Amino acid sequence: MKVHGKKTGAGGALREPTPERGLEESDVALRKAMGLVNVAVDAQSRTVKAIIHDNVFTFFNLIFVVLAVLVALVGSYRSLTFMPIVVLNTLIGIVQEVRSKRTLEKLTMLSAPTARVLRGGREQTLRAEELVLDDVVIFTAGNQICADGVVLEGEAQVNEALLTGEADEIAKGPGDQLMSGSFIVSGVCKARLVAVGADSYISRLTLEAKKSKGVGQSKMILALNRLIKAVGLIIIPIGVILFLHQWLLVGNTVEESVVGMVAALIGMIPEGLYLLASVALVISVMRLARSKVLVHEMNCIEMLARVDVLCVDKTGTITEPEMRVEGAVPLSDEGDILPLLGDFAAAQASDNITMEAVKAYFTQGQGRRPLGVTSFSAACKYSSATFEEGCYVLGAPEFVLRERFGEYQALIQSHAARGARVLVFAQYAGRADGRALTAGVRPLCLVLLRNPIRKAAAQTFGYFAQQGVQVKVISGDNPVTVSQVAMQAHIDGAENYVDASTLQTEEALCKAATRYTVFGRVTPAQKRALVRALKSAGHTVAMTGDGVNDVLALKDADCSIAMASGSDAAAQAAQLVLLDNDFARMPLVVDEGRRVVNNIERSASLFLVKNIFSFLMSFFSIVLMCTYPVGPAQISLISAFTIGAPAFLLALEPNKRRIKGTFLRNVIERAFPAGITDFILVSILMLVGRWMGIPDEMISTAATILMSVVGLLIICYIGRPMNLWRWAIVAAMVAGIALSATYFHWLFDMSRLSLHCTVLLLILCALALPVMLGLGRATQTMVDFSFRMARQFLRRCKGLGARRRKEEGR
């Protein structure tokens, strides 16, 4: 705790650590006892208790319990057949979510952010949640800052864009503050943690963000939530009206009125729809987890299904993450410069794979001690070391040579054309401070590096080409080099490249985003701008990356994927993490996204068929002063074999079709024809049946069979083209209905049909398919018109709002 700005413990003031030793074990134990631990406020998963609570205590479960009590009170126990289905749905939801929680917790432990900390003079690697107040942490390039701190020693370039929105790199030295949630771009520093856990800056932001509803939730789930809330609001008044209508106006008994009202409401409630979507997403997360893919945000699974542009970095994605130096090409006759390169490399920190490769190759130095060092800057694309005899820089030729680049362009391009990454080593006449170079340079040599192409790269990018997904290669390297590497990986349009350093305006960048395939010399801010430009052009964009220069673009992409071997910052910013660093997993990930969304859309249509019929039939019964035609037990039979079971079975099969249109529109277009077909045919059955004098119990049984036939037809309709698995599902459902109606007729209130009723039923069954197909074409036209009018209305509302704000601004 803090008292007047001074930390105190049970025995007095807490001892502050030294940069050399950090905290002692006794200091750590005292802080843990006081609760001064860096425990995250945003738990990655809910507790088992919370999962059970959220699955049991739902609005619709409450309605089902109330309906069950009403049915029991009037003694119609046979009508309680809907309750076992409700209980089963709830249990399935709990079991699947608990299994998913346990699987994800194991994977999250493996990929949890870690930190290098000094304790008792020894360096240790601990999980970020094990750090305590005043711990001395060593931060290097790629590390995400896990708690607020103050720099004790060293210097680092820090990016705070995820917190402030400003993409500029900020130099941090002794005494400067480090904010949690930012990340180290380059350099090395030691920092003492001054705020941990809920007191840290990122925790306060997280708690504030939690006040916003729907953040990070799947659009599909949000659409279902809106649909279910709308249903929840209207079924209660409809239920009251139905009961009073049948009891007071139609003249039914209290028992008959309650049973009719319950049957109508059960038909209106999409009791398994939200569960189906939730369980399908949970199963999808588990399937990805078994393939070594960690899902940070559930909504990215849906976005994966809609991706039509994939942005990738060269290093670590197209190529293996390991880099090696091929050699050095002298540019001057001043003698052996390898010892100088060796001293330069020894002075640098191993804070990126390029410098690791340089340090591993240039090992012979003369022991020069640097007066100052600047780590690699992604914005200015060089690193530097200053010795007594001068300042030396190593970086991208265009940024180091600047106006002298033309002198060496042909030589550089010749190496780049072979796929080599080219850096220039030069003496700098000015003082290098991590900002853009302005003084003159004397080129000494070219350093050639190379990354091997991933073995499965060509096959992986071939898959995306077949699926209609464009691939954009965005890299900080020379565009010629990147283009050559992309061509070796068989990326379509890889010969179409541009140097992003020539794209100085936002307009030029936006035009280039859709025109070119390969982008070289891209700064982190430009990566982000390219992702935004592609999204503005109407694309759904996925971004892969593993470095700190990818973080901003990862945050802005519709779906972000990081390699576990990359920087901490990239892994924490991404929605998906490839734990085995294998980009060849991407087709599996995209297929999984398409499978889950396609199947949920298809299965959701089955649930809405019953709801549409029940709403229309309720109003029809009220207007014609007649009893609702089917009972709760019969609705349960229809739901079990034409909705529940086939929906779950269909949701599990492979489905790689690319997603088109919005979730709600796709569902409505499929469900409306069958729902209205049910309503028309059952209405005809009721009217003609009464005219022919057919008893109500026979009409009720015939209506159940008729709705079952339409239900089986819609399974075939949405399952086109039918395959062996789908025909097997239909056959199993037919058998289930037949067995239930024959051997459990007493349970589902099924009676024998007279000859007249059977003939009428057969005629209506024969009409079902042509009526549904005709309504399908009409529905598509109607939905197109409705959505077009809705879009125009929203555009007008936005225009009026913009004009009003403009007038208020005056």
User: What integer pLDDT is reported at residue 470 of this predicted model?
Assistant: 92
pLDDT digits (tens, 9 = 90+) for 428-479: 998 887 788 999 999 999 999 988 888 888 899 998 888 888 999 998 888 8
What pLDDT, on the 0 to 100 scale, is given for residue 11?
A: 44
Average pLDDT, the chain: 82
Residue 715 is which amino acid? Answer: I
pLDDT of residue 168: 63
pLDDT at position 794, please? Answer: 62
Domain 293-320+454-581 has CATH 3.40.50.1000: yes
Helix axes 586-624, 254-268, angle to 10 degrees: 150
For tokens 């919370």, what's the residue? 50
Please state, in angstroms and rounded to a whole number, the distance separating the CA atoms of residues 139 and 153. Answer: 11
494 pLDDT above the threshold of 50: yes
Length of the chain, in residues = 810
pLDDT score of 4 more than 70: no
91-105, 412-426, 576-590, 704-718: which range is least confident on average?
A: 91-105
pLDDT band per the 50, 70, 90 thresholds, residue 209: very low
List C-alpha distances in Å: 741 to 637, 711, 730, 750: 9, 16, 17, 6
Confidence band for 294, pLDDT divided at 50, 70 and 90? confident
Task: Give dist(CA 642, CA 646) in Å, integer.
Answer: 6
Model confidence band, residue 212 (pLDDT cutoffs 50, 70, 90): very low
- pLDDT greater at residue 711 or residue 804: 711
- Is-contact 113 568, C-beta < 8 A? yes
% residues pLDDT > 70 (the chain): 87
% of the chain beyond a pLDDT of 90: 24
Average the pLDDT over 638-661 and give the result.
80
Confidence band for 216, pLDDT divided at 50, 70 and 90: very low
Task: Clarify whether 556 is annotated catalytic.
Answer: no
Mean of the pLDDT values across residues 137-152?
89
Q: What is the CATH number of domain 50-98+215-285+590-800?
A: 1.20.1110.10
> What is the average pLDDT across 546-559?
82
Q: How confident is the model at residue 164 (pLDDT cuts 50, 70, 90)?
A: low
User: What is the distance between the alpha carbons of residues 639 and 631, in angstroms, rounded to a whole number?
Assistant: 12
The CATH number of 2-36+112-205 is 2.70.150.10
Q: In terms of pLDDT, which residue wins out, 202 or 563?
A: 563
- Of 193-202, 548-557, 618-627, 720-729, least confident by mean pLDDT is 618-627
Q: Is the pLDDT of residue 215 over 50?
A: no
Among 753, 754, 746, residue whose Cα is nearest residue 633: 746
Q: Bridge-partner residues for 441, per DSSP?
A: 428
CA distance 779 to 386: 74
Give the CATH number of domain 324-450.
3.40.1110.10
**For range 505-519, the mean pLDDT:** 90
pLDDT for the residue numbered 799: 64
Domain coordinates in residue numbering, the chain:
2-36+112-205, 50-98+215-285+590-800, 293-320+454-581, 324-450
At 373-428, the pLDDT tens digits run: 888 877 788 999 999 889 999 999 999 999 999 999 999 989 988 888 899 999 99
Residues 6+ away with beta carbon under 8 Å from 383: 186, 348, 355, 373, 374, 375, 376, 377, 393, 394, 395
380 against 487, higher pLDDT: 487
pTM to 2 decimal places = 0.70
Which of 148, 308, 313, 343 does the annotation list as catalytic? 313
Q: Using CA of residue 312, residue 316, residue 317, residue 318, what is the dihedral sign?
A: positive
Q: Comparing 175-184, 296-305, 525-534, which segment has the lowest mean pLDDT?
A: 296-305
